[in-house]
Amino acid sequence: MWQTVTVDDKVIAAPTLLQSYMVFANRSLLEEAGVEVPTGDTWSWDDFQAAAAATTTGGVHGVGWGLTEPTATMLSVGQNFGAAYFEGSGEDATVTVGDAELELPERIHQMTYEDKSLDPVTLTQAGSDVMTGFLKGRYAMTVQGSYIAQTLAESAPAGFEWAVLPALEGDSAEQAANPQTLSVSAESADVDGATEFINFYMQAENLAAVAEGDWLIPASSDAAAQVEEDTGGENGWSTILASGEYLTMAPFQAVTNYPQWKDQIATPSFQRYLGNEISADELATELEEGWESVNN
């Protein structure tokens, strides 16, 4: 799935574990609303939004989505619609916010303020806070990092039937990959020993064991196959592992001043938009002009 970096046949850098954003569902609430639990590798955004509207009734919202820190989600899941945000790399990158980049925030905004299927309170919460409400039956679905399946497997109350739904798909099901990576420093006192450890760590059975312990997606196909075998695909593992096929490198990962733009510009701008304080056009302007201010 992901390539290691080798020198003289020694692994000196290797991507290890990843996560994707998945939809977790309360099966009972979907079934009560007449929503068929989707199967397959992907699920269209239109069907997801229709399911959210159908399950919104009484004191239940169709979706709870913790977006107190929205930028990573917007830029990652935004790739479903071809969102790039950045052109170029390093210090020469530029930011352009067009229809593709606005598609995801506008859909979330529409779900929140037009059909009211997404609980606006959750937009100011962390994912763990939303998970509490999900387990109490306040939300039919929640969008979370794939690793949250561990919480559900270990902490869901008796009789709570949950499911991991297929990866969301717009124009594609792509999301940004941000793998944990092991590497050997050029200043290491024992390069041979360090590379030997990475080689050991990256063996399929060992990487699979770490992935299962952390409930993350292994970066190698052999290790993913081992996880599938070890877990039998239960507790959502089959669906989560399948989502790993859509993880790709994103433009923002090659941009020098991305962290500063994310913290100072993008996060507060996305928060204001999701709080219904600014328009989509104003969001685009803030993101573009903000990049110019931090990159000069």
User: Can you give the pLDDT at residue 6?
Assistant: 46
129 Cβ neighbours under 8 A, 6+ residues apart: 66, 122
| Segment among 5-9, 67-71, 196-200, 238-242 with least mean pLDDT | 5-9
- Say if residue 149 is exposed, middle or buried (CB neighbours under 10 Å; 0-12, 13-18, 19+): buried
Q: Which of 57-71, 173-187, 280-294 has the lowest mean pLDDT?
A: 173-187
Confidence of residue 23 (pLDDT cuts 50, 70, 90): very high
Q: Token pair 């996305």 is at which residue? A: 270
17 and 211 in contact (C-beta within 8 Å)?
Answer: yes
Amino acid at position 96, single letter: T
Per-chain mean pLDDT for the chain: 94
- CB atoms near residue 196 (< 10 Å): 13
User: Does residue 103 contact residue 168 with C-beta atoms inside 8 Å?
Assistant: no
The 3-state secondary structure of 51-87, one letter per residue: HHHHCCECCEEEEECCCCCCHHHHHHHHHHHCCCCEE
How much of the chain exceeds pLDDT 90, in percent?
86
Three-state SS at 223 = helix
Residue 34 has pLDDT above 80, yes or no: yes
d(CA 68, CA 84): 22
**5 pLDDT above the threshold of 60:** no
Residues 1 and 219: beta-carbon distance below 8 Å? yes
Check pLDDT > 60 for residue 125.
yes
> Where do the H-state alpha helices sit in 55-172?
71-77, 99-113, 127-135, 149-155
Tokens of 228: 């599938």
- What pLDDT shows up at residue 149? 97
> Is residue 156 a contact partner of residue 135, using CB atoms and an 8 Å limit?
yes
> pLDDT tens digits for 217-259?
999 999 999 999 999 999 999 999 999 999 999 999 899 999 9
Instruction: Name the maximum alpha-carbon separation found in the chain.
Output: 64
Question: Which residue carries 């929503």 as its tokens?
Answer: 35
**Can you tell me the distance from the alpha carbon of 269 to that of 101, in angstroms, rounded to the nearest whole number?**
14
The pLDDT value given to residue 12: 54
Burial of 82 (0-12, 13-18, 19+ CB in 10 A): middle
CATH 2.40.110.10 assigned to domain 21-176+250-294? The reply is no
State percent of the chain over pLDDT 70. 96
Check pLDDT > 90 for residue 9: no
DSSP character at residue 40:
S
Quick one: pLDDT at residue 178? Answer: 87
Residue 19: name the closest of 128, 204, 131, 145 by CA: 145
Per residue in 77-115, pLDDT (tens digit) is: 999 999 999 999 998 999 999 999 999 999 999 999 999
**Distance between CA 238 and CA 131 in Å, rounded?**
21
Mean pLDDT of 138-152: 97
The confidence score (pLDDT) of residue 191 equals 86
pLDDT digits (tens, 9 = 90+) for 274-283: 999 999 999 9
Helix, strand or coil for residue 91?
coil
**Out of 192-196, 244-248, 286-290, least confident range:** 192-196
* Mean pLDDT, rounded, for 254-271: 96
